[in-house]
A and B are shown apart, each in its own frame.
Chain A
């Protein structure tokens, strides 16, 4: 079946370094993608989204890159801070679809002092 998966379950980075979290998706019909951040004991928090008509979108300290050719999505966090430590999920859907998002398994990001 269709799925969205992450390459790495865990990622450790030094404070101040840049982080890159990857995600592969298999549904070629997906045209809308979201990254969520989930801190321990909390609900997922929207970080940034991107539509398939874009390759790159930037937010505050975060950038999402979309490569439709290889069905790959990445989240880049600049100057990673301790508060960035969390589980990051990618999710995909089709614009206008009534169905819920398809979530990846998540990547645990740990920021080392």
Chain B
């Protein structure tokens, strides 16, 4: 149980385009999902907290107009990187939790912006 999926697993796009990443909780409902960014050999950096039915809460320094988050259902949150640039290339990971304890992570999405 407690499986989180992400799609796509990797994506290459041209600079200036937008990319949408999906995060799904497959066998549980999650009112809260989290989006992280991770650079090589570094820890996870929280970008935003996605709340079902309400606006996401963004961490300081994360542009909400750049990283659009939608949490339309209890099993799906999406992260859209708008007008992507090479510096947005990174590993994006989502997580969700069935209750208020353990967080389960998705497999991650590697984004490469050319």
Contact = CB atoms under 8 A, between A and B. Distances in A.
A43 B43 contact: no
Nearest to B93: A43
A42 B9 CA distance: 10
B34 A100 contact: yes
A41 to B, nearest CB: 7
Interface in A43-69: 43-46, 49
Interface size class of A (residues with CB under 8 A): 20 to 34
Contact of A41 (B46, B101, B106, B110): B110
Interface of B: 2, 4, 6, 32, 34, 41-44, 46, 49, 91, 93, 95, 100-108, 110
Interface of A: 32, 34, 36, 41-46, 49, 89, 91, 93, 95-101, 103-106, 108
Contacts of B42: 105-106
17 contacts: A32-B101, A43-B95, A43-B107, A43-B108, A44-B44, A49-B101, A89-B44, A91-B103, A93-B101, A95-B100, A98-B100, A99-B49, A100-B34, A101-B103, A103-B43, A105-B42, A106-B43
A85 to B, nearest CB: 14
B105 A45 contact: yes
Contacts of B106: 43
Given A41-B110, A106-B43, A96 B100 contact: yes
